[in-house]
A and B are shown apart, each in its own frame.
Chain A
Amino acid sequence: MSDRILLDFAGDRREIADYEAAGGYESLKRALNMEASDIVGMVDTSGLRGRGGAGFPTGRKASFLPSDRKPAYLCVNADESEPCTFKDREIMLRNPHALIEGIVTMSFAIGATSAFIYIRGEYRTEFEVLTRAAEQARARGYIGRNVLGSGYDATIVIHRGAGAYICGEETALLSSLEGERGQPRSKPPFPAVAGLYASPTLVNNVETIATVPFIIEKGGEWYAEIGTERSKGTRVFSLAGNVRRPGNYELPLTRTLRDLIEGEGGGVPDGRTLKAIIPGGSSTPVLLPDQIDTGLDYESIAAAGSMAGSGSVTIVDDRTCIVQLALRTAEFYVHESCGKCTPCREGTRWGTEILRRIEMGEARQDELDLLLNVCDRILGKCLCPLGDAMAMPVAAFVTRFRDEFQRHIDEGGCPFVETSPFSSYYHHDHAGVPG
């Protein structure tokens, strides 16, 4: 029996006939005959946790919405933008109707007036796939007035963003969807109480919502039997970097990094060796090669000193300079900082400048600890986690590869300039411009 749930087929099911032939939209019919609270209860029983990054229990999140306040909204977070993450994109490309079915099911369960899919602006083709899938679903009566005779009216608006990483943060997403600059808001109030247009709002990731129809079909207990004690079900992992077969792989959460990297991905290509693993998107602390037997579940990765994050695992081979990797990581967060909170706006910039000085061989000895100090002054001091997303990985690169940083200072330059794939961004003799 296959270990996969969401992507348990070859090719795609973009056409609604293909999806229906595989049993699609049967769960929705079942759900519309259930009590709304039983749907949320079933998701709660399943143990499904948010697949965007935070890993919060999905059923519990839905239960926070007050049932007596209307309007209420469902917002699907399809703003996948954490560097190294591309799994929601594959789900939308290959199984868009699972997402649509999950949206209508959860909208009914929370009594939502409307649902919005906030998809990142760069995903133009995926936007078109979802638009077509929604049109097909509307023609078959799964979306619109009085869905399948239930009396429930389901509205889905597919909203395409315009390029801003921060809009993946749920309150920034809501600001953007309301027509503002996409800046985060302070919490509380949480979106469940005062979200879109100050109304109760449930915000869930694509993979999370697309999993709901399978839970309705087979039951919460069935899902809860897959995985570990606290990390249930399967997860679609994005595997990228220096492996033989990069791509998305859906695995039960009982498996290990080695299963993913070597079993599915074929390991590091010939002639190179594994140097580092970034286990949950670029914001998560780096792991070392001897941690490859760590489990893929949330708890095991946390115990190893990192985070499961967005489920993207990036493999770094021995050509790469870790200082350059840290610098490129930090530059991303400088570019994406919305500028609202001072520690993030200023700290990401100063941290990046120190990293650049280290890479160029211009840093003094005390700047290494100054860099850690800057990271420490960002951590936990902002409205949203963007600043932390720079500070956590940078601090981990420094502490876990300190010898390599020290060599840059001692040797007055980068020891890996001839081999590292990032060199041309940072050194004149390899002309190039960073992003």
Chain B
Amino acid sequence: MSDPSTEQTLAGARETRPTMPPPTPEPPRDRPLRDRILDVAALYPESRSAIIPALRLAQEEHGWLPEEAFDEVAEALDLTPGYCKAVASFYDMFRLQPVGRHEVCVCTSLACTLVGAADTLRAFEQELGVEAGGSTEDGLFTLRTVECYGGCGWGPVVAIDERYHEPLPANEVVPLIERLRSEAGG
């Protein structure tokens, strides 16, 4: 389905994209969540400024943000759980529902779609057997579409667990999913 001209664009994107460094290892979770939130809060003149990093720490702890997470963040930052939930619901990266172990985010913004993001999305939908917004029955994957990720010259951009894969044309989707499945022991 991909047009030969798009193939030329993808080849060019691979030339111009900067080399990315390896991911920083996850910090240890050897101390209570509350203490780690207080560490972050100490960086700011007012502790409420730490609500986004605090919610992120809670989300990493639980995999998503259940009611309990709002209680924990609120207690640590001296806010109300309702306030924390209101803030969390404003931002796209907080999960108010449980999600699969791997979160696959396909950018469907202008530039990525011009170079084949719709085909990439369809390949994920077919391989995972879910539509965007859904999760696989084995709990391994959640598929979602997202707005511009800032990789527009190197699209189609897909982020898996917050790490960018770019460009990721449709024909590279199946091997990638198979690799993640085998790593999960499936």
A residues adjacent to B (C-beta < 8 A): 11-12, 14, 71, 80-86, 89-90, 93-94, 113-114, 120-125, 128-129, 131-132, 157, 159-165, 176-182, 197, 238-248, 265-266, 268-272, 278, 282, 312, 314-317, 319-320, 325, 328-329, 332, 335-336, 338, 421-425, 430-435
Contacts and interface: CB of A to CB of B under 8 A. Distances in A.
Interface in B113-130: 113-119, 121-122, 125
A241 B52 CA distance: 33
Nearest to B166: A86
Contacts of B98: none
Contacts of B122: 424, 431-432
A196 to B, nearest CB: 8
A198 B90 CA distance: 22
B108 interface: yes
A423 B113 CA distance: 10
A136 to B, nearest CB: 13
Interface stretch (B2-10, B29-37, B172-180): B2-10
B162 A179 contact: no
What's the dominant secondary structure at chain A's contact region?
loop
Interface residues of B, number: 71
A178 B12 contact: no
A271 B4 contact: yes
Given A162-B55, A247-B17, A241 B118 contact: no
A178 B46 contact: yes
A164 B163 CA distance: 18
Contacts of B93: 121-122, 162-163
Nearest to A93: B18
Contact of A164 (B45, B91, B131, B152): B91
A220 B110 CA distance: 38
Nearest to A114: B45
A132 B12 CA distance: 30
Contact of B150 (A122, A131, A278, A338): A122
A242 B5 contact: yes
Nearest to A312: B152
B138 to A, nearest CB: 21
B13 to A, nearest CB: 5
B140 to A, nearest CB: 20
B146 A435 contact: yes
Contacts of A433: 121, 131-133, 145
A197 B44 CA distance: 11
B114 A320 contact: yes
Given A247-B17, A272-B5, A435 B53 contact: no
Contact of B12 (A176, A245, A338): A245
Contact of A328 (B18, B110, B133): B110
Nearest to B86: A181
B182 interface: no
